[in-house]
Chain A
Amino acid sequence: MKQLSLAIDLSRCIGCKTCVVACRNAHGLIDHAAAVSGDLPYYLRVESERKGVYPNLSVRTWVVPCQHCKNAACVKACKAGAIVKDEQTGIVRILAEKCVGKGDCLKACPYGVIQFDAARRKAHKCDLCWDRVHVGEKPVCAEVCLTGAIRFGEKEVLKMRLEAEGKEILKKMSAQSVFYFRNPD
C-alpha cells in the first residue's frame, strides 16, 4: 500500500482554524479584495462534539480535510474520469482539465469536502498539497497547525509511531487514509 496521510490529534486540536486560512491563502482560494464572508471556499473545516452537561463536560475538536479514501466515492461518481487516486501517493486528485462541472462528486462525497467554483464550473478540493509533498515539504495545514495537532507522513509509518507512543486511533472517525487519534483516557 502507498498512502500519504494526515494524522489528526484530538488531544491537541483547539479548533482555531489557522489551518483553514493558511490553506486558503496558499492555494489562492480567495480574492482578498472581493472576499465575502460566508461565501469563501475551504479545503478543511472544524467540527466538534460535546459530551455531558454542565458542569461535567468534555468537548473534542478536529478538522476535516479530504479523507483521500481508499475506495473514494467521488472517483466512482465522476463519469468524466476527472478524479483519480494516485497510485504512488494515495492522493485523490481532481484533474481540472477533465472536470466538466457536473458536480456529481460533491453529492457523492460522504465528508462534504469538495468545493465548486461556479465561475469556472470546476470542482476542487484538498490534494494534500501535491506540489509540496513531492519536494519533501509537509502540507500547509500540517506545517502551520498552531498546536502541532496535524502530523503528516506515510500512513503505515504514522500509525506505527502513534502505536509506539500509546495513542488511541479513532477508527470510526475516518476512512482510514487520513486518521484521527488522541491520548487515551
Chain B
Amino acid sequence: MVAATQEPREDNAPRKEAAMRENGWIPTMCYQCKAECAILVRVQDGVIKEIRGNPRAGGKACVKGMSGVSLQYHPERLSRPLKRVGKRGEGRFAPCPWDEALDAIAGKLAELRDRGEAHTLTASFFPHSITDPKWRFLNAYGGFINTALPHCDSAKIVAFIKAMGGVPNHHIPPNFATTPKGGVIILAGRHAMGCLDDATVPKDILDARERGAMLVVIDPIFTADAAKADWWIPIRPSGDTALFTGMTHHIVLNDLYDKKFVENWVREGDFDKLKDYLADKTPEAMSAICDVPARDIVKLAELCAAAPSVGVDSFKGIMLGQALDFGHAWTNFLAVTGNIDNPGGQPLPDLTPLSPVAPVPSGPALAEKGWHVTGPDKGKFHKYSFIMEPTWYQAQAIKNGGLKMLITAECNPAITEMGQEEWRKAVTMTDAKGDYLLEMLVSYEIMPSETSKYADYVLPDKTYFERWELLYMPWWYNFGHGVALRRPVVEPLGECRHSNEVFIELGKRLCPEYFGFRDDLEYYDIQLAGLGLSVEKLKEMGGLWSPGTMGFRKYERGGFGTPSTKVHLYWEDLEEVDQALPRVGLAPEYAEDTGTFPFILISYRTTFHQGSGQWTHNNPQLRDPKSGLRENPVLINTATARKLGVKDGDIVTLRSRTGSLKVRAKCTERIRPDCLGLHHGFGSSVGGVASRGEGVSDNILIPDSGMTLDWQDVVGGESHVSTRVAVEV
C-alpha cells in the first residue's frame, strides 16, 4: 500500500492507468500477502486473465500477485459452508446451509456472553485495516484479536511507541525512494527483495543504489538482497542488538553523533544515561557476542555517522526472544544518528481524518481479561504492552480455560504456530465429559487448509477479487496518509461470503446498537465522509486517494508522541525487568541446549510464499520449480556438511527439543556454518499442490506455544521463531 501515497514513478503514470482502465483493466488491491499492493486486473468475459501493478502506485506486482489468477480458479476452492462430522483433526465434513452455520456460531457467541465470558472469544485475522468490520465486532462484543500470524513485528511497534510515542510503519522499511545519494540502507534480517512490504521496494532499493546509496545486508543467510548488497555481514543469529549497540557506542563515545538532534529532540538526561550504559559496550565486547569483527562494527558505525541518511529495516531481528531489546537498540541508534522522519531514515506515521462510525465501541479490557493475564502465567505478563493477544500463547490459553471460541480468517495457525503440535493438541483436548476445551473453532477459508481440518465450521470466504474492502492503516506501509479500495472484479464463487459481511451480520444479531449501518459499503461510506469521499467516488477515482505527501520531520510541529514530547532512550518503566536499556545478549532460545543441539535453525522467507497460507503454498504457479519454489530442503553450509558426512541430496533428520523431521539436505555456501535454514510455511498435508513434493514445517521444531515462557519476550509481545537443532545423518 505504499503506492497509495507516493508520487507515481513515471510522469505519464496516471494517463497510462487511465488508458488501461479504458481497455478493461480494473483497479483494485492485491491480497496475496500482507503488503496489499495496488494492482490492475484484466477481466475478459467475466474471467480474470492478467494482473499488473497499478502505474499510479509504483506500477509493480510481484510473482505472488501475478499468481493470484491461479488462486481465483483453484479447483479446491470452497463454495459453501461445511460442518464437522468427525473429530477435530480428521477433516471430515458435511455441507451445511449458511443459516444453520450462522445460527450455531451466533448461538455460541450469545451463550458465552450470557455466561460473562465474551472475552473468551478471540478472532485471529490479519488486521490490515482499522476500518475492518471484524475489529469493530470484537470491540463491540467484548472479544479479543490476535493477528493471523505471530506478531512478527510487535517488538518494533512497542519499541517505537516507547521511544517515539508513535507507532512506526508496521512491517515497514524506510521509504527507499527517498534515500539520498550517499545514504546507507541496512537490512538486518530483512528480506526486502521478498516483496512482503510492497512490490515497489526492490526497485526502490536498486534505484537508490544507482544514485549512490549503499546497501548493507546483515543476515546469517546470503539472501537475494545480499546478492545485490555492497556489503554482506553474516552475523550470528540474534546478534543485532550487540551490533547496533556496538555501533552506537562508537558513534557516541567518539563524538560522531547528531548533536543537533540529540540536543533538541532527546529527553533531557537520557543521553547521559545512554553514555554511561554504553561505556563497556565496546565494538570488541559486542563483537564477541554478534561475531562481527570489531573493525567492521567501527567501519559500519563511521559509514552511518557520515552518511546523509541511514534507513534500517529488520524482521528476524524483531522476532526473537529478546526482540524488544533489539527494537530498543535500533531506536537508540536512529536517535543518536538523527535518522527519524528524515528522507532515507525511519518514517513516522501520520493520520488521515476518516470519520468515526458512531457509536464507537470501547473495546475489551485486554490488560484485565486477556487470556495471557488470566491463566497461571499471569505474573510473567505484567509488563506485556502490545495491543493484541500474543498469538503464540493460544494453546496455553485453551488449556487454561481462557480461550473458548476461536475464529480464524486468512490464516493457518495449525502450521503458523511455533510449537504447532502443541496448538493441534490444545484444540483437540477434551474435558472429563468429552467436550472440547475450545468450545468452538470456526475457520474462514478460500480453500481447505491444515487449520480447517480442526474446525467445527468451515466458512467459504470470498477471494480478494470478489469483495469490497476499504484499506487504511495509519501504521501500515502507506505512511499513514492514503486510503485504498479493494473492489470485486468478478462474481463470487457459489455461496462464498466475505468474512467482513459475516461479522457484520453477527454484529447485527448480537450487538445491533453498533451495527446500525446497512452493510459493509455503508460502513465504509461513513468513514470516507471524513475525506469528502464515498465508496462510489473512490471507485470512480480509481480506488486510490492520497494527499501526495509523506511529510518529513513531522515532530517539529509539536514534538513526539511521548509524555516528554522527546525521544526516550531510557525506559524507566522496564527497570524492574532489566530492560530500561537494551540487553545485548543473544536470544535466550539460542543460549540453551548448545551441546545437545549445536546448530541454530533459521526460518527464512522468499518472494514466492506468504507465511503458511494456502493461497501461495497451494498455488500451482508458486510451487512450480520454474515460476516458484517447490521444495523445502534444509540449507546446510558446504563445509559443515563435509564435516558431518552429509552429501547434497541426502536425507537427514533434524531434531530439536520438541520435535524431529526428515528432510533432504541442500549443501550451499550461502549460510553460516553454524546455522541451518528451512523456509517457513511449508509442510501442509492438505491441498493437492501444497502437499506434493518435499515440504516440511519449521514449526515442528520450534518449541513454543507458551511452553518456554522464559525464552519469550513477554514485554514486546513477540515470540521466538527459531530454535537450536541437531542434525542426524
On A, residues with C-beta under 8 Å from B are 11-12, 14-18, 20-22, 24-26, 28, 30, 32-38, 40, 42, 45-46, 50, 52-55, 57-61, 143-144, 146-148
Contacts and interface: CB of A to CB of B under 8 A. Distances in A.
A143 B25 CA distance: 15
Contacts of A54: 222, 234, 637-639, 669-673
Contacts of A147: 202-203, 206
Range for the number of chain B residues in contact with chain A? 35 or more
23 contacts: A11-B206, A14-B227, A15-B224, A16-B202, A17-B63, A17-B608, A18-B66, A21-B67, A21-B627, A25-B49, A25-B51, A25-B66, A30-B621, A32-B70, A32-B73, A36-B689, A38-B624, A40-B624, A40-B626, A46-B626, A57-B669, A59-B670, A144-B60
Contact of A12 (B74, B206, B623): B206
Interface string B668-702: 01111100000000000000010011000000000
A42 to B, nearest CB: 5
A35 B207 CA distance: 36
| For the complex of A and B, 3 pairs with smallest distance between CB atoms | A32-B73, A35-B620, A21-B66
Given A18-B63, A24-B627, A36 B620 contact: yes
Contacts of B72: 32
B61 to A, nearest CB: 7
A92 B670 CA distance: 38
A35 B70 contact: yes
B195 A16 contact: yes
B692 A16 contact: no
B669 A146 contact: no
Given A59-B670, A146-B60, A40 B66 contact: no
B234 A55 contact: yes
Contacts of B63: 16-18, 20-21
A96 B61 CA distance: 32
Query: Which interface residue of B199, B624, B639 has the most chain A CB atoms within 10 A?
Result: B624
B197 to A, nearest CB: 12
Given A16-B202, A50-B669, A40 B621 contact: yes
B52 interface: yes
A182 B623 CA distance: 30
Contacts of B52: 22, 143-144
Nearest to B625: A38
Nearest to B670: A57
Given A18-B66, A25-B50, 5 more contacts: A16-B607, A37-B620, A40-B626, A54-B638, A58-B227
Contacts of A11: 206, 228
B627 A17 contact: yes
B66 A37 contact: no
Interface of B: 49-53, 60-63, 65-67, 69-70, 72-75, 193, 195, 199, 202-203, 206-207, 222, 224, 226-228, 232, 234, 607-608, 620-621, 623-628, 630, 637-639, 669-673, 689, 692-693
A30 to B, nearest CB: 7
Contacts of B693: 37-38
Query: Which interface residue of A15, A18, A52 has the most chain B CB atoms within 10 A?
Result: A18
B53 to A, nearest CB: 7
A34 B626 CA distance: 17
B199 A146 contact: yes
Contacts of A58: 227
A164 B21 CA distance: 36
B193 A14 contact: yes
A146 B232 contact: no
A59 B195 CA distance: 19
A61 B225 CA distance: 12
B193 A59 contact: no
Given A25-B49, A57-B232, A37 B621 contact: yes
Given A38-B625, A55-B232, A146 B620 contact: no
Contacts of A46: 626
A35 B232 contact: no
Contacts of A53: 638, 669
B627 A20 contact: yes
A54 B637 CA distance: 8
A144 B39 CA distance: 12
A110 to B, nearest CB: 19
A14 B202 contact: yes
Nearest to A25: B50
B289 to A, nearest CB: 18
Nearest to A140: B50
A158 to B, nearest CB: 18
B563 to A, nearest CB: 43
A34 B673 CA distance: 42
Contacts of A42: 626-627
Contacts of B61: 18, 144
Nearest to B200: A146
B371 to A, nearest CB: 39
A37 B73 contact: no
Contacts of B73: 32-33
A126 B547 CA distance: 42
A21 B67 CA distance: 7
Given A14-B227, A20-B627, A54-B234, A35 B621 contact: yes
A112 to B, nearest CB: 11
Nearest to A51: B669
A32 B69 contact: yes
A41 to B, nearest CB: 9
Contacts of B66: 18, 21-22, 25, 144
Contacts of B608: 17
B203 A37 contact: no
Contacts of A15: 224
B630 A33 contact: no
A135 to B, nearest CB: 11
A184 to B, nearest CB: 13
Contacts of A37: 620-621, 623-625, 628, 630, 689, 692-693
A144 B53 contact: yes
A117 to B, nearest CB: 16
A146 to B, nearest CB: 5
A144 B61 CA distance: 7
A33 B72 CA distance: 9
Contacts of B195: 16, 146
Nearest to A42: B626
A20 B482 CA distance: 31
Contact of A25 (B69, B199, B639, B672): B69
Contact of A24 (B193, B621, B623): B621
Contact of B74 (A26, A33, A40, A146): A33
Contacts of B630: 37-38
Query: Which interface residue of B66, B70, B673, B693 has the most chain A CB atoms within 10 A?
Result: B66
Contacts of A30: 70, 620-621
Query: Which interface residue of A21, A40, A60 has the most chain B CB atoms within 10 A?
Result: A21
